[in-house]
Amino acid sequence: MKKLLASLFAVALLVGCGTATSEGTPATTETETTTTEASGDAKTYNVGVAIYQFDDNFMTLYRNEIESYFKTLETDAVKYNVTIVDGKNDMAEQSNQIDNFITQGMDVIILNLVQTSSADAIIDKVVGAGIPLVLINREPLGEDGDESYKGILDNPTVCYVGADARQSGTFQGEIIAELPDKGDLNGDGKVSYIMIEGDPENIDAQYRTTYSIKALEEAIAVECLDDQVGNWAQAKGQEITANALSQYGDKIEVVFCNNDAMALGAAAAITAAGRKVGENIYLVGVDALDECQEMVKNGEMTGTVLNDHIGQSHTAVDVAVKALNGEAMDNYYWVDYVKVTK
Ligand code: GAL
């Protein structure tokens, strides 16, 4: 099974236009927050939560839910002193934040890595300090693909909580493949698309890019007109789509976005270019942000895929609490995606 996953992964990385380029880092607007007052007689646990970047629509929902879910678990006897810090998409900054968490004597750390390539260095520090570590959202991949990262397998106090991005990509491709015209608006027998990718180091971006097209290709031939990196950001999604629409015009039948923030930008560019989703272009994203669910309902987006921030944040917190109670944790915890269409 592991071998199969590894070869699927290798194939996956070969698919796509291969023209993606990395762009700048979005600005950050928020700073550190500390929540939940410690109280007199209760046992208070210190929880450090490090988020890769506060300026990210999906991770904002996720971190807010971590904070509020911890609150709901408090009793007269147990309190959680939760400190959430903004890595500002800067690995050096996040590494310092982890050092601070260790110095501050956190009882557990929940970590959304800036760069998964730094996973080992961070795991070593945190395990060395004897603190349980729950990795979230950005999965460090082992040599055999998913569920094989040595730093996780070898350390009983380290785990990963996430969603399998292959599933979200497949759902995106299926949303288009299941349309009456399979996305082929001009009836030339193939679907011409543009792809807007998240951070290229991120496995979510790689898998969504690959598996969306793989699923669509099972139904119809495809042609990639453009493939660009939008770093999960709405403004980049808008800029890339606007440029592609002016370069390729009516040739573009589908805009695939690795997330909804970029799809929101794409939708604005589509409207500005006088095109209409559902009539002469299709648009899909991932996350199912509230505004995108509304747009799917109104026909302004063809579909999206629910990235269950509630399921993921609650699982991460439940696992952290297990660790605080001295219970064993599994290596990996998975939460399903859900297809969202009209
Ligand atoms: C993805 C999500 C994106 C972005 C990214 C950050 O799972 O779909 O919107 O938040 O995580 O790593």
Based on the domain organization, do 44 and 11 belong to the same domain? yes
Backbone angles phi, psi at 68, to 5 degrees: -75, -30
Based on the domain organization, do 229 and 260 belong to the same domain? yes
Based on the domain organization, do 290 and 315 belong to the same domain? no
Q: How far is the CA of 315 from the centre of ligand 1 (A)?
A: 17
CA distance 31 to 19: 35
Based on the domain organization, do 327 and 279 belong to the same domain? no
Based on the domain organization, do 20 and 154 belong to the same domain? yes
Atom of ligand 1 nearest to the CA of 287: 8
pLDDT tens for 224-237 read 999 999 999 999 99
pLDDT tens for 57-91 read 999 999 999 999 999 999 999 999 999 999 999 99
Based on the domain organization, do 157 and 54 belong to the same domain? yes
Share of the chain above pLDDT 90, in %: 86
Q: Find the mean pLDDT for residues 103-111.
A: 98
Look at residue 17 in the predicted model and tell me its pLDDT: 60
The band of 25, judged by pLDDT with boundaries at 50, 70 and 90, is very low
Based on the domain organization, do 301 and 327 belong to the same domain? no
CA distance 297 to 299: 6
Based on the domain organization, do 71 and 86 belong to the same domain? yes
Based on the domain organization, do 302 and 315 belong to the same domain? no
Look at residue 40 in the predicted model and tell me its pLDDT: 61
Q: Give the 3-state DSSP-derived string for 45-76, with helices as H, strands as E and coil as C.
A: EEEEEEECCCCCHHHHHHHHHHHHHHHHHCCC
- Domain count of the fold of the chain: 2
Pocket test for ligand 1, best of 25, 54, 59 (most atoms within 8 A of CB): 59
The band of 309, judged by pLDDT with boundaries at 50, 70 and 90, is very high
pLDDT tens for 195-220 read 999 999 999 999 999 999 999 999 99
Based on the domain organization, do 152 and 246 belong to the same domain? no
Based on the domain organization, do 271 and 318 belong to the same domain? no
**DSSP-assigned letter for residue 117:** G
CATH of the domain at 243: 3.40.50.2300
Residue 296 predicted with pLDDT over 50 = yes
Based on the domain organization, do 142 and 24 belong to the same domain? yes
Q: Write out the residue range of the structural domain in which residue 78 sits.
A: 4-163+309-341
Q: How far is the CA of 312 from the centre of ligand 1 (A)?
A: 12
204 lines ligand 1 (CB under 6 A): yes
Pocket test for ligand 1, best of 51, 208, 259, 337 (most atoms within 8 A of CB): 259
**DSSP-assigned letter for residue 162:** E
pLDDT tens for 129-172 read 999 999 999 999 998 888 899 999 999 999 999 999 999 999 99
